[in-house]
Amino acid sequence: RPAHYGDRELTPFFCAAHVPCISLCRRTMGLNLRVQKRLASSVLKCGKRKIWLDPNEVNEISMANSRQNVRKLVKDGFIIKKPQKMHSRARCLKHLEAVRKGRHTGTGKRRGTREARLPTKVVWMRRQRVLRRLLKKYREQKKIDKHLYHDLYMKSRGNVFKNKRVLMEHIHVAKKEKAREKQMQEQAEARRLKNKAARERRELKQAAEQTIEKEEAKPEKKKK
């Protein structure tokens, strides 16, 4: 029920200290507290809408015409700085979590072109950095040598690898191919050495047979 002050009707409300009190407008009893509110906002370093004036002490508040008097009223509790209103981000965080899962991102929610939302240059830079970071790590761990590193670096720059997984598969295949080539070269080298040794043995054998034939041919001539 509205309270009554003489023939004036006053509206009750809850103040900053959560105490039910009566709101008096500026014209109540012919008092204007605009100056006191301005001085209080200057003293308490906040906006005028954050200032609460005790409606039960209107006369005493109206007598304050300096900052010193306002400080005294603040100390007495007649003038209070209202607490900051809560601005919860719970709903915003919940929405952002849903957006990360892919919700609320349909065609109706998009403002801007595909290039403006995520430029192709940014995508390219991110991909190159991922690939180059992997190549550098493999080179430091001695998994690839500097020649393979340079070859793969230039291929990644030439847009050969779509992502990190493709590059890793290519590295495994390249290492396997290189090991196979090395094995084939070693086998070919071993075969070449083996053939060379066989050829040398054959030549030695042929030379020995020739010397034996010559020695056998000499006594026959003497007999004749």
List pLDDT tens digits, range 129-156: 999 999 999 999 999 999 999 999 999 9
List pLDDT tens digits, range 191-202: 999 999 999 999
Q: What is the pLDDT of residue 8?
A: 46
Above 80 in pLDDT, residue 58?
yes
Q: What is the pLDDT of residue 220?
A: 59
Q: How far apart are the first and last CA of the chain?
A: 162
Q: What is the pLDDT of residue 213?
A: 83
DSSP state of 31: -
Beta bridge partners, 191, equal none
Q: What is the pLDDT of residue 215?
A: 83
Q: What is the pLDDT of residue 20?
A: 42
Above 90 in pLDDT, residue 49?
yes
Above 70 in pLDDT, residue 175?
yes
Above 60 in pLDDT, residue 71?
yes
DSSP state of 48: G
Compute the chain's Rg from CA coordinates: 48
Measured in residues, the chain has a length of: 224
Q: What is the pLDDT of residue 88?
A: 95
| Predicted model pTM | 0.54
Planar angle of CA 183, 188, 194, nearest 5 degrees: 125
Distance, CA of 220 to CA of 223 (rounded, Å): 5
Above 80 in pLDDT, residue 121?
yes
Contact 155, 161 (CB under 8 A): yes
Kindly tell me the sign of the dihedral angle through the C-alpha atoms of 34, 39, 45, 50: negative
Q: What is the pLDDT of residue 14?
A: 45
Above 90 in pLDDT, residue 123?
yes
Of 157, 148, 152, 149, residue with least CA distance to 128: 157
Q: What are phi and psi of 23, to 5 degrees?
A: -85, 125
For the chain, percent of residues with pLDDT exceeding 90: 75
Distance, CA of 210 to CA of 203 (rounded, Å): 10
List pLDDT tens digits, range 151-172: 999 999 999 999 999 999 999 9
Classify 107 as helix, strand or coil. helix
Average model confidence (pLDDT) for the chain? 87
